[in-house]
């Protein structure tokens, strides 16, 4: 078992492999930090292993050794260059699929963030999906299946990866000594994101963002906040999530619905401007946001 919250999905995949109903194209859809990458890597290793048990690779055979070294000739990871996956990368995929396998016969292609495929790339992939060859497997991940063309979706077996039992992530995070943060429950669907923050020594920064979000209305000096979110657009998203959560709590405790909607609208505009407008005056944008929350 890779992560406790993925055990149900692992069982489903094991069953479909055992009963010969395993689809040649598997799409894993879910939020960042829920474990899609770990899932497809494990699946790829198992498909290439010479003696897998269910969807667990043995870790001993030649194939497993090649995978551990990251040099398995029958495994191909499509690289995202910049913001998109182009048609050339996908042509490499069909080329890779058409050659015979070096080890046990299976060949596996992993395409992470496949919603980043250009239209031309998606069309090229469609050909591979429409004419599946035996022992060839495509493992795709996406955070937004809705952005994928229906033609691609209809030719994949889709698994929605999510945490159904948040107790299990809470316990798992506790085992990493990540506990008692008032904002933690907002990320029970993204436990690996929280782990990544811990590994990057960022939990204190996240905690600071939370404090700024909860005191935004009273605040007047935002330079420290601006310093933090200026560095990383992902942190802007987290900050906005915190502010939005604050607003929801205020709504529950009696905030007028109109005011709530206006505040959420101001927040959405702030997020869009601060992540999309080049050369935006961020200190001014934060002051404006605080102003509209105060007067909402």
Binding positions for Zn ion, 221-260, rule CB under 5 A: none
CB closer to Zn ion out of 64 and 229: 64
Per CB under 5 A, the segment of 2-10, 46-54, 166-174, 236-244 that binds Zn ion is: 46-54
Least Å distance between CB 202 and Zn ion?
A: 36
CA angle 109, 113, 114 (to 5 degrees): 65
Candidate ranges 50-58, 164-172, 261-269, 280-288; the one touching Zn ion (CB under 5 A) = 50-58
Beta-strand pair 157-160/136-142? unpaired
Establish if 62 lies at the interface with Zn ion (CB under 5 A).
Answer: no
DSSP assignment string, 190-254 = -HHHHHHHHHTT-HHHHHHHHHHHHTTTT----HHHHHHHHS-HHHHHHHHHHHHHHHHHHHHTT
- Cβ 35 to Zn ion shortest distance, Å: 22
Residue tagged 């995202």 (tokens): 80
Residue 49, SS3?
coil
Instruction: Name 114's Cβ contacts closer than 8 Å, sequence gap at least 6.
Output: 27, 85, 125, 140, 141, 142, 148, 152
Counting contacts by CB under 5 A, is residue 43 touching Zn ion?
Answer: no
Residue 173 interacting with Zn ion (CB under 5 A): no
Among 38, 58, 126, 255, binds Zn ion (CB under 5 A): 58
> Cβ of residue 28: shortest distance to Zn ion, in angstroms?
22
Among 64, 109, 111, 267, binds Zn ion (CB under 5 A): 64
Contacts with Zn ion by CB under 5 A lie at 49, 57-58, 61, 64
């Amino acid at each position: 078992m890779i992560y406790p919250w993925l055990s149900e999905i692992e069982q489903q995949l094991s069953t479909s492999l055992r009963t010969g109903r395993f689809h040649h194209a598997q799409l894993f859809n879910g939020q960042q930090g829920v474990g899609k990458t770990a899932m497809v890597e494990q699946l790829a290793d198992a498909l290439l292993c010479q003696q897998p048990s269910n969807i667990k690779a043995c870790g001993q055979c030649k194939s497993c050794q090649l995978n551990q070294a990251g040099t398995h000739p029958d495994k191909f990871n499509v690289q995202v260059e910049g913001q998109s996956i182009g048609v050339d990368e996908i042509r490499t995929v069909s080329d890779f699929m058409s050659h015979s396998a070096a080890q046990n016969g299976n060949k596996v292609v992993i395409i992470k963030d496949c919603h980043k495929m250009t239209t031309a790339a998606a069309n090229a992939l469609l050909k591979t999906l429409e004419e599946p060859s035996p022992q060839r497997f495509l493992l795709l991940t996406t955070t937004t299946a809705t952005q994928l063309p229906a033609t691609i979706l209809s030719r994949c077996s889709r698994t929605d990866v999510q945490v159904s039992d948040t107790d299990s992530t809470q316990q798992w995070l506790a085992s990493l000594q990540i506990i008692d943060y008032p904002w933690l429950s907002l990320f029970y669907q993204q436990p690996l994101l929280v782990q990544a923050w811990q590994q990057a020594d960022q939990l204190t920064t996240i905690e600071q963002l939370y404090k700024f979000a909860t005191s935004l209305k009273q605040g007047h000096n935002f330079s420290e906040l601006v310093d933090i979110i200026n560095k990383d657009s992902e942190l802007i998203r987290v900050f906005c999530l915190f502010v939005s959560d604050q607003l929801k709590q205020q709504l529950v405790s009696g905030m007028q619905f109109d005011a709530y909607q206006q505040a959420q609208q101001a927040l959405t505009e702030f997020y869009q401007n601060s992540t999309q407008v080049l050369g935006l005056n961020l200190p001014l944008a934060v002051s404006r946001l605080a102003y509209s929350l105060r007067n909402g």
